[in-house]
Amino acid sequence: MPQRTSLLFGVHAHQPVGNFPEVLMDAHLRCYKPFLQVLYRYPDFHFAVHFSGWLLDYLIEHYPEDMALLREMVQRGQVELFGAGDTEPVLAVIPNRDRIGQIEAFSNKLAAKLGQRPQGAWLTERVWESTVVPALADCGIRYVIVDDYHFLCAGRAHAELNGYFTTEEDSRKLDLFPISENLRYKIPFSPVDETIAYLESLADSTASNSHTAAIYFDDIEKFGIWPETYQWVYEKGWLEQFIQAVLASTKISPQHYSAYHATEKTRGIVYLPTVSYIEMNEWTLPAPSANTYADLVQQAKSSGWYEHKKAFLRGGIWKNFFSRYPESNWMHKRMLGLSSRLAKLPEKQRSHAMQQKLYESQANDAYWHGLFGGLYLPHLRRAVYRALVELEALLDQCAPRSATLIEDTDLDGVEEVYQHNGILQAIIKLDSFASICELDAYQLNHNFGDTLRCQVEHYYQKMQLGAHSPPSHETTGIASAHDRISYKHQIAAEDTEADDHPRSLFVDRLDGEFIVYQHESPTVENNSFRSDHTLFPIRKNISLEQNRLHVDYHFSDQMKQIFTTEINLAMPSCDGMGGRYVYQGKIPGGFGQLLELNHLTEIILDDDTLGGSVVLRTSSPVTLRAYPHYSVSQSESGFEKIMQAVTLQVECPTPAQGLNITLEINAR
């Protein structure tokens, strides 16, 4: 009897909370639906699947027939369901109480909707920290999957990584399966015969006293959504041919993780370092460090030793995204603060809605950036802030806050002052700019300060090298998204220039130079600042009145200079059809267009996606220059320019009577 390899085949399906309906529809038509339909025809092909909680809810609501196929495959024993946090958080960066709550919520959902409670769990972005072990174990999770790279970083050899291992933390035990990098890059990109030959070679090389597992668990989006994959996987039949070849092989046996785990013994104790998948090492680093890391990797590959020693040439860790991107760090620390407030409420005051909003704010996608991360995507950050603002309003109803609060929320050494009146909230960064870093409208559940400054990215170097086409490949398969370089938009040099200031609200200049402010006194009514670098000091006061934000400037009578303030507003329609300026009853343009108006005292920014408007008023006539603020992102589809905010530049000679600028925020 020939030795057989246990093929532990799993796929992970996820869409971010708040993703566009058309994206979800396309993903279903090109990936989820055809994948399930093909697998349904082969009951003997056992596999594992993880649908993230929000996506599962969406698919059950909108595509019940396809989810009925999945439910039937679970019932007939073909599918093993994998758990996780319900909204796909990175478990290592949320409080332990929320880890437990998220895992339990999703396990209960799987049991109720698909009829199976999971034994295994998917770790978001395969981010491993040993601190997650107790929560997983306490929730009944017996094993998780991580990359074989994680094990190599712990000093294990490739030849050992054909079964599962055991780790422990705080007296809790958890088993770990190493995902094969070779399989991640072969499936589904290499031809079927090459992939099958590789799997069968594992059986041929196995000692008679051991049972080899070929471990695969990766994004289902590789089966239809990544470039060229729909034609390759379905129209040319890769998936069906692969399943048929596996079932016909005398050396490969498709098996559930649970079955393998129940019949095989652990390969021993292991302690993994804090790490994610190998590509993330580069993405987490600031551009100069990422360039250095990439150069070292290329040198190692050129010298021929990279594959054997790559575990010892390591970049950053996932949490680096918080120190690298101030906007990500700010969201994360705001989330932690509200989680703490919710935990302190008496249990009888906590509601399911509060818990759900907290969990939505913990969804991982908007907190990081790489080939797939969504920090650069305004609609994903907006979903996080929508949940945070809604949760904050609910908490304020139960446990009202002081109207003014000062703290260093984001732990950067600079305090922020919170000012709110139940309708609006302005959070002012007490640095030299004295600008507003967050402006919340509770009726609209929106943060108008939710934008992203431009900073130099490692992938700018790829654009500067002028690489436009995918590299050549040794096989007759197709290229992985990791190997492609393409462009969705034309990128100019000025598009990649880094900002020299925060993209916040009311960043002030005098004759083109930034005004440096000192904080004077926070009160319930206003916050006062005084410039310290001019011959004639400027006073700036920020206050709230109902649905209006007032920013007052007081100038000396003797000043004869040009004053400019920059207001960056996150308008949800961005450069789409739903956002427009309204001036003197007419529409001079949309948010994606350049606009210059003289002698202006009022203009409306109307936004269909927001379901509301912002009215800008000035006490004296000003010149308004408005333009879209873009950043350059990368995705599996190529480099692209993404509109982050509307930038309004208000300019006038310093008026002796002072200048009042009001933002009035209205819901329709």
Locate 24 and state its tokens: 């979800």
What's the CA gap between 245 and 238, in Å, rounded?
10
| Degrees, nearest 5: CA angle 455-458-459 | 105
Q: Strands 172-179 and 143-147: what pairing?
A: parallel
C-alpha distances in angstroms, 7 versus 254, 255, 352? 5, 6, 40
Residue among 125, 129, 508, 566 flagged as catalytic: 125
Active site residue 65: no
C-alpha distances in angstroms, 28 versus 33, 64, 432, 454, 543? 5, 12, 49, 33, 47
Within a 13 Å sphere around the CA of 524, how many CA atoms are in the beta-carbon half?
A: 5
What's the CA gap between 434 and 662, in Å, rounded?
17
Residue that is written with structure tokens 């002012």 in the block: 428
Active site residue 175: no
Check if the beta carbon of residue 360 is closer than 8 Å to that of residue 384: yes
Other C-beta atoms lying within 10 Å of the C-beta of residue 293: 19
Locate 59 and state its tokens: 């698919």
Q: Strands 79-83 and 120-122: what pairing?
A: parallel
The residue among 579, 578, 585, 577 whose CA lies nearest residue 602 is 585
Tell me the residue type at 317: I
Q: Is 360 helix (H, G, I), strand (E, B) or coil?
A: helix
Locate 475 and state its tokens: 């096989």
Taking the alpha carbons at both ends of the chain, their separation in whole angstroms is 73
b/e map 488-519, b = 16+ CB within 10 Å: eeebeeebbeeeeebbbbbbbbbeeeebebeb
Check if the beta carbon of residue 37 is closer than 8 Å to that of residue 239: no
Q: Which residues touch 321 (CB under 8 Å, ≥6 apart)?
A: 284, 328, 367, 368, 369, 373, 375
Handedness of CA 263, 264, 269, 272 (dihedral sign): negative
DSSP string, 396-415: HHHSPPPSEEEE-TTSSS--
What's the CA gap between 232 and 351, in Å, rounded?
47
Locate 559 and state its tokens: 């000043």
| Degrees, nearest 5: CA angle 370-377-28 | 90
Residue among 219, 412, 520, 636 flagged as catalytic: 219
Cβ burial of 328 (10 Å; 0-12, 13-18, 19+) is buried
What's the CA gap between 153 and 395, in Å, rounded?
43
The residue among 263, 309, 49 whose CA lies nearest residue 164 is 263
Query: Which residues are annotated as catalytic?
Result: 125, 219
